[in-house]
Amino acid sequence: MKGLNGPKAFADYIHCLSILENNTAQLYHALSDWTVSPLAKSLLLNIALDSAKHSTLLKGISDSLTTSKTNLKECAKNLGEVWRLVDALSEELTKKRNSSKLDFSQLADKLTNLESELGEEYHIFVQMKNLEALSKEINQLYNVEIGTIRKIINSIIKDEDHHRELLSTIRRLLEQGKSRNNDNTPIVNFQSPDSWTQSSKIAAYEEP
């Protein structure tokens, strides 16, 4: 996270987080589409829906502050490692779209790491030393209270913690299913590669 030295930088950062959450939602939605286990599928979809909800909330905050948006290159620079993780997972799934099987155990570690990085990004945000200093200026300019934004971010942090728990449950479900599966039928199956090709485009909104 770069230092937020004014309302515009603050709004750009929130906007980038919204795009990041949208891209994360696409990842989980694709995994849900391709997962054979009904319960694991529904849990992955639940995470996707949460991430889409986060994106909508953050976009609402950003749009309340400014209509001028940063571009994707700047978002990658501002968010650093967590943006790179989502890009890397998107690329990995795209490369494997023609495969019949997916090692979810290995992927689960990467997804858990992603959720940890997301949670840490939000923790750093709510603990920023200059957040309160910005609050008066933001309230005067846009009539938006930092307290409301902080509550939204804290609710997102709780969701990220819950996502790690869900990923552990999904991993256990798929490993149990694999041990009972004697004919080696894949538990995570790339059933719809075309849909991933379409959904994996890293752009939640059109650039200006």
Residue 207 clears pLDDT 50, i.e. is over it: no
Higher pLDDT, 94 or 12: 12
Which carries the bigger pLDDT value, residue 118 or residue 143?
118
What per-residue confidence (pLDDT) applies to 19? 96
pLDDT exceeds 50 at position 75: yes
The CA dihedral of 22, 128, 131, 16, to the nearest 10 degrees, is -20
Per-residue confidence band for 146, with pLDDT thresholds at 50, 70 and 90: confident
How far, in Å, CA of 1 to CA of 177, rounded?
A: 40
Mean pLDDT of 181-204: 47
Q: What proportion of the chain, given as a percentage, has pLDDT over 70? A: 79
pLDDT tens, position by position, 76-130: 998 999 999 999 998 888 877 666 566 777 788 899 999 999 999 999 888 887 7
What pLDDT is stored for residue 136 in this prediction?
77
Interval 119-148 mean pLDDT: 83
pLDDT tens digits, one per residue of 22-65: 999 999 998 888 788 899 999 999 999 999 999 999 999 988 88
Angle at which helix 72-79 crosses helix 7-34, to 10 degrees, equals 90
193 vs 81, higher pLDDT:
81
The residue type of 110 is: K
Q: Check residues 196 and 174 and name the one with the higher pLDDT.
A: 174
Percent of the chain scored above 90 by pLDDT?
A: 44
Mean of pLDDT over the chain: 82
pLDDT at 3: 62
> Please, what are the domains in the chain?
7-180 (1.20.1260)
Which three-class secondary structure state does DSSP give residue 204? coil
State yes or no: pLDDT of 17 exceeds 80. yes
Tokens of 131: 């957040």
Hunting for tokens 């709780």 — which residue is that?
Answer: 158
pLDDT at 182 over 60: no
The backbone region for 190, taken as left when phi is positive above 0, alpha when psi lies in -120 to 50, beta otherwise, is: beta
